[in-house]
Chain A
Amino acid sequence: MEEFRKKCKGVIFIFCFTLLSLVLMSTFQGAEKAYGADKVETGKKVYQKYCIICHGNKGDGKGLVGIIHRVEKSGLVWTLFPRDFTVGVFKFRSTPTGCLPTDEDLLRIVSNGIPRSGMPSHEDVSLEDRKAVIEYIKTFSPRWQEEDPCEEIVSVKKPKWVGSPESIAKGKKVYKKMKCWECHGYEGKGDGPKSDKLKDDWGDKIIPFDFTSGALKRGSSPENVYITFNTGLDGTGMPSYEDSLKEEDRWHLVSYTLKLLGLAE
């Protein structure tokens, strides 16, 4: 009996000691190191292999390749630069304006790339490595530690009538009323009366999208078009219409946009 008690004491002592040391370890090492250190380390290696040439070793978009896309159109010249991760602002999110993107948002960009920019697809990189590089990208801005995540915009349910002639006609009216043409032009060519003076938050000249030129950077599915009206494109002049436009009208606007893109009759 006495021996059994001694054994019990020993077990409790070991239990207490382990619990304390675990708590101490996770507290003083910081959550990131205790749980995700390996992932960030792997991510850094992946980043150095594939991303550094454009996005730079500091993640500020100032790698060896400065300009990744240069466009000349209707006498205008503008250039695209690699994303600066140090600010923590992203255009293609599933979250409202002013929010950080979700991991899935970042994974989609890393995997699919961005059409009409220098960002290539990385489907050839293993999923594990793609996920790891996202963890590493998140270390460039303190925003990922400071801010609470926002809720995703989930109600993207395309009505059946999207793309129908009636919906396109309604969408054309919305396009006029919502003043989309002020930037994107009367025919969606990106040459509206306000298109000339736009700059992004980095102070670089930008041009509103020309819908007649082809693929959207986020992807041209109706759902992708719809979500951009909700989220806006942070860092650029494209604002969020989440509070200014009814859901139904947003879908009519999708129909008209598809028409301008040549994806609807």
Chain B
Amino acid sequence: MKKIMVFTVVVALLIPALSFARKAKYEVVEVNNGGGIQGTVKTSLKVKDPVVPINIQPKEDPKETEIERKTCGKTQQAGIYIVSPSNEVKNVLVIVEGVKKGKAAPKTDLTINNNKCRFEPLVSISYVKSNYIVKNSDPLFHNTSLGVLLKDKRRAVYNLALPYQNQEIKKRNRVAGLIDLKCDAHSWMRAYVYSSRHPYVTITDANGNYELKDLLPGKYTVRFWHEGFQEETKEVEVKAGKVSKLDVSFSKTRKPDFLGRL
């Protein structure tokens, strides 16, 4: 009789525990003899990187107007399309989607700098539970507004005021997903952060190359995201101890949202 009772209580406690485990989004395990994915992102299109005009409205104090004009410049090279002579695309986010199990994500903090009225870096990766360090290197007001991009909407993550030079704010990364950054005071400013729970995200280099390591064997979906191209997704199978090749070529451009704000 006692046994039945103990058994019932244990089962009763286990059922909710199991249902919580089902909700857990990412499980950290040791990965030995995992596989990798490697490839190059190119484009079949001839693209031209636009020059963005910078308009600074005059302020009451002409000195302040002068400081802002000098810091931000008259025009800025947009830096959307950084394409090599052999059509390889830089700054593509390569994201392995829906990973349930794998290595622990790094604990590295991400520094975002407001420098000469641009966000640096333009494209970066942050990890949930690490920190964002937002800096202002300019002698003028910036605000850094982070928002996670939902299907066709934006949800605020943080909107931080950075009114003076050399200011630094540290904030915990609580939200996963593709995040865009904007500054309401300077409509041309933008940047993109992929906030991840797992380490299987990277960015292409100047030769369009990328590499992802230590994945557990299995089938994966890889998303290739770039602000100026229609995104692509590809399926790939990863085998133990091997590197799978996965190249992509962008064939459609897309107008980045910030150009519509100018």
Chain A interface (Cβ < 8 Å from any Cβ of B): 8-9, 12-13, 15-16, 19-20, 23-24, 26-27, 84, 86-89, 97-98, 143, 147-148, 177-179, 182-183, 186, 193-194, 196-199, 201-203, 232, 234-235, 237-241, 243-245
Q: Quick one: given A12-B1, A194-B184, A198-B184, are A86 and B12 in contact (CB under 8 Å)?
A: no
Q: How far is the CB of A201 from chain B (nearest CB, A)?
A: 4
Contacts of A9 in B (CB 8 A): 1
Measured CB to CB, the nearest residue on chain A to B14 is: A23
Provide the bound-state CA to CA distance between A23 and B161, in Å. Answer: 48
Contacts of B154 in A (CB 8 A): 87, 201-202
Measured CB to CB, the nearest residue on chain A to B185 is: A194
Contacts of A177 in B (CB 8 A): 163-164
Number of residues from B at the complex interface, CB < 8 A: 44
- Check if A98 sits within 8 Å of B157, measured CB to CB: yes
Contacts of B187 in A (CB 8 A): 197
* SS class, residues of chain A in contact with chain B: loop
* A98-B157, A147-B174, A239-B184 given; 10 more Cβ-contact pairs under 8 Å: A24-B15, A97-B160, A98-B146, A178-B141, A196-B57, A201-B154, A237-B185, A239-B145, A239-B159, A240-B160
Measured CB to CB, the nearest residue on chain A to B158 is: A98
Contacts of B163 in A (CB 8 A): 177-179, 244
- Check if B156 sits within 8 Å of A201, measured CB to CB: yes
Contacts of A234 in B (CB 8 A): 156, 159
For this complex, 29 residue pairs linking A to B, each with C-beta atoms less than 8 Å apart, are A8-B1, A9-B1, A19-B9, A19-B12, A20-B11, A20-B12, A23-B15, A87-B155, A88-B155, A97-B156, A97-B158, A98-B158, A98-B175, A177-B163, A178-B141, A179-B163, A182-B59, A193-B57, A201-B153, A202-B153, A232-B159, A232-B161, A234-B156, A234-B159, A237-B159, A240-B158, A244-B162, A244-B164, A244-B167
Provide the bound-state CA to CA distance between A20 and B138, in Å. Answer: 63
- Check if B143 sits within 8 Å of A239, measured CB to CB: yes
Contacts of B11 in A (CB 8 A): 20
Q: Quick one: given A177-B163, A239-B161, are A199 and B261 in contact (CB under 8 Å)?
A: yes
Chain B interface (Cβ < 8 Å from any Cβ of A): 1, 4-5, 8-9, 11-12, 15-16, 19, 57-60, 140-141, 143-147, 150, 153-164, 167, 169, 171, 174-175, 184-185, 187, 260-261
- Check if A27 sits within 8 Å of B19, measured CB to CB: yes
Residue in B15, B57, B156, B260 whose CB lies within 8 Å of A89: B156
Measured CB to CB, the nearest residue on chain A to B144 is: A239
Contacts of A88 in B (CB 8 A): 155
Q: Quick one: given A178-B163, A196-B57, are A20 and B8 in contact (CB under 8 Å)?
A: yes
